[in-house]
């Protein structure tokens, strides 16, 4: 990286912070000055205070835990299953020919339209959220795993063969490292997909969960907790996303 880039990078970073800071200042100042109705947009600091109060309530923390568990369960089921089926299909030209077009058709359909079917068949409890999360995410993981398997270069396999690698060594020393960057990116997107699916299902029909809370606050025009919930979920999503991206960068530095 040249010096110019570094200076430009610092300048860009300053502009970004300025932009975010500016939005927050406006968010605070406009309602306080009366230019914007503070019933409609409560000031930023009020929202932060509300968030703090909410986090102090055990019922709200319980809702957060429920949502987190639903997301984790859905991810823990969908990611390995998707990866397994993706591997098996990608490794078999026969299965690929049968399944590839079908999977692409399915992938193109918006998953949200199936939500009522999930409610009719599974109710509105914990496992319905998990099932819908899996349904929304599994296909993405499956297709990404296929892409990852197909990104393995035949020439690399040939090199490994020529040096007498066993099947297991080829798996661990060629397949896995070749696939890792694409897999990690897929997992990051899968987390986002699961997050979206679970909160959507909670907002649509549920008795618990942060999505349910947000829906209720919105219905009742309770702007402070509504914005507090949005703020919390946004920050959580950003943090999770960045954490995986950090791992991605560490594992995929060679992909340039």
Could you give the C-alpha distances from 183 to 134, 179, 229, 235, in angstroms and in order? Answer: 17, 6, 31, 24
Among 3, 162, 167, 250, binds another protein (CB under 8 A): 162
Output 108 or 164, the one with its CB closest to another protein.
164
Please give the backbone phi and psi of residue 144, each rounded to the nearest 5 degrees, phi first: -65, -40
Q: Are 174 and 161 in contact (CB under 8 A)?
A: no
Q: Kindly indicate which of the ranges 32-40, 67-75, 119-127, 167-175 contains the residues binding another protein, using the contact rule CB under 8 A.
A: 167-175
Q: How many residues are there in the chain?
A: 256
Among 4, 5, 155, 219, binds another protein (CB under 8 A): 155
Residue 186, C-beta contacts closer than 8 angstroms, at least 6 positions apart: 140, 141, 144, 145, 147, 148
Q: Based on the shown chain and the rule CB under 8 A, indicate whether residue 163 belongs to the binding site for another protein.
A: yes
Output 110 or 154, the one with its CB closest to another protein.
154
Q: Are 156 and 178 in contact (CB under 8 A)?
A: yes
Q: At 175, list the tokens.
A: 């397949």
Q: Based on the shown chain and the rule CB under 8 A, indicate whether residue 185 belongs to the binding site for another protein.
A: no
Among 96, 112, 178, 216, binds another protein (CB under 8 A): 178
Residue 157 beta carbon to another protein: minimum distance, rounded to whole angstroms: 10
DSSP 78-124: HHHHHHHHHHHHHH-HHHHHHHHHHHHHHHHS-GGGGHHHHHHHHTT
Among 57, 61, 150, 161, binds another protein (CB under 8 A): 161
What residues from 4 to 43 belong to the interface with another protein (CB under 8 A)?
none
Q: Based on the shown chain and the rule CB under 8 A, indicate whether residue 169 belongs to the binding site for another protein.
A: yes
Q: Which residues bind another protein (CB under 8 A)?
A: 153, 155-156, 158-166, 169, 173-174, 177-178, 180, 253-256
């Amino acid at each position: 990286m040249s010096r110019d880039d570094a200076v430009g990078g610092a300048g860009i970073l300053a502009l970004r912070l300025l932009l975010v800071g500016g939005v927050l200042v406006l968010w605070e100042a406009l309602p306080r000055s009366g230019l914007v109705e503070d019933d409609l947009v409560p000031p930023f600091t009020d929202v932060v205070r509300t968030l703090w109060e909410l986090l102090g309530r055990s019922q709200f923390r319980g809702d957060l835990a429920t949502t987190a568990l639903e997301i984790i369960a859905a991810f823990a089921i969908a990611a390995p299953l998707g990866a397994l089926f993706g591997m098996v299909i990608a490794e078999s030209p026969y299965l690929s020919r049968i399944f590839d077009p079908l999977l692409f058709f399915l992938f193109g359909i918006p998953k949200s339209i199936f939500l009522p079917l999930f409610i009719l068949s599974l109710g509105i409890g914990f496992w319905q959220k998990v099932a819908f999360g899996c349904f929304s995410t599994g296909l993405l993981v499956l297709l990404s795993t296929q892409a990852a398997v197909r990104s393995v270069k035949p020439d690399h396999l040939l090199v490994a063969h020529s040096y007498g690698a066993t099947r297991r060594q080829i798996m661990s020393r060629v397949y896995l490292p070749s696939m890792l960057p694409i897999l990690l990116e897929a997992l990051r997107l899968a987390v986002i997909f699961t997050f979206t699916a679970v909160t959507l299902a909670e907002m649509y029909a549920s008795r618990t969960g942060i999505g349910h809370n947000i829906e209720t606050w919105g219905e009742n025009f309770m702007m402070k907790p509504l914005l507090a919930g949005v703020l919390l979920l946004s920050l959580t999503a950003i943090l999770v996303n960045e954490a995986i991206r950090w791992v991605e960068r560490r594992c995929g530095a060679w992909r340039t």
